[in-house]
Amino acid sequence: MKDVTLLHPELQKIITQFLKEAEKQGFIVKVTDTLRTKKEQNELYAQGRTNPGNIVTWVKYPYSNHNWGMAFDICRNDGKGAYNDSDNWFFKVGQIGKSFGLEWGGDWKPQDKPHFQLNKYGSTNYLFQTYKTFEGFKKTWEDLKEEDYMFVERYYKYNDTIKAYTIINENGENYIKLRDLAQLLNKNISYDVNTKITSLDDIIETKNIMVNDKEITVKCIDSNGFNYINAREIGDALGYDVGYNASIQKIFFNIKKSIKEKFKILFK
């Protein structure tokens, strides 16, 4: 089945955000499969085994997250071939899904690149042991309260750039999405599924600059409207050794030994 509304409410919310973000980044995604009944799962399992076709699933009912409304499959919908992966399309979209807390089948061995699932409510084995059937699990969904947050638009300024973000205003406190904050502060945001750590990192770029008529490439960070360039690299280009004296906590620039030697020769 392709109906997204058959999925767990939390997964439905995530899909909406995921599709929106993917589209923003230029990826047109189509959801091809959501909930699978016992009959559908076992028919699919037979495919490539006792029935003709390619193997498309590795598990029987009830051990697929599709059987619990906790998984969906996608393909591309940009007219370049539904499963064309020559441009690493599925990897790129997989990373977007992971940033929303989804597990991506492309990280598995064997891979299942079109597949995404939400593991928040336990393994399929746990769901089976606890709820016995999909219907039993689904009953618990009704207890989930629809959060009634107040969403408001606020303007935020960083350096000279003003941007509008939709934030939650709860008891007088403003809650901005970490993703939005990272964008405002010009940081890279990434999520590691293994460590479950979200990182905000400086965006390190490279710049070509001229030093004594010679073009060199240095790493740089753009912050507060200034380019911060790598001290060691610029020092090197100017003929200095750059180091750090930990005891006095000072960075030092020393004229390179090779240059000092040259001076010595000149003064002889």
Q: Which residues bind Zn ion (CB under 5 A)?
A: 73, 115
In terms of Cβ atoms closer than 10 Å to its own Cβ (0-12, 13-18, 19+), residue 91 is middle
* Smallest distance from Zn ion to CB 39, Å: 17
| C-alpha to C-alpha distance for 245 and 233, rounded to whole angstroms | 18
* Smallest distance from Zn ion to CB 96, Å: 17
* Smallest distance from Zn ion to CB 68, Å: 12
Name the residue nearer to Zn ion (CB basis): 65 or 220. Answer: 65
* Smallest distance from Zn ion to CB 26, Å: 24
* Smallest distance from Zn ion to CB 66, Å: 6
Please, are residues 257 and 242 in contact by the beta-carbon 8 Å criterion? no
**From start to end of the chain, where are the E strands?**
29-33, 71-76, 103-104, 115-117, 150-158, 161-170, 173-175, 187-192, 197-202, 204-211, 214-223, 226-229, 240-245, 250-255
Name the residue nearer to Zn ion (CB basis): 57 or 131. Answer: 57
Block residue for tokens 């620039």: 253
| C-alpha to C-alpha distance for 20 and 26, rounded to whole angstroms | 10
Per residue, what are the HEC states of 159-213? CCEEEEEEEEEECCEEECCHHHHHHHCCEEEEEECCCCEEEEEECEEEEEEEECC
Neighbours of 179 (CB within 10 A): 16
Among 33, 24, 110, smallest CA distance to 72 is for: 33
Name the residue nearer to Zn ion (CB basis): 64 or 218. Answer: 64
- Tell me the residue nearest to Zn ion as measured from the CB: 115
Name the residue nearer to Zn ion (CB basis): 98 or 115. Answer: 115
Name the residue nearer to Zn ion (CB basis): 73 or 103. Answer: 73
* Smallest distance from Zn ion to CB 64, Å: 7
Name the residue nearer to Zn ion (CB basis): 7 or 182. Answer: 7
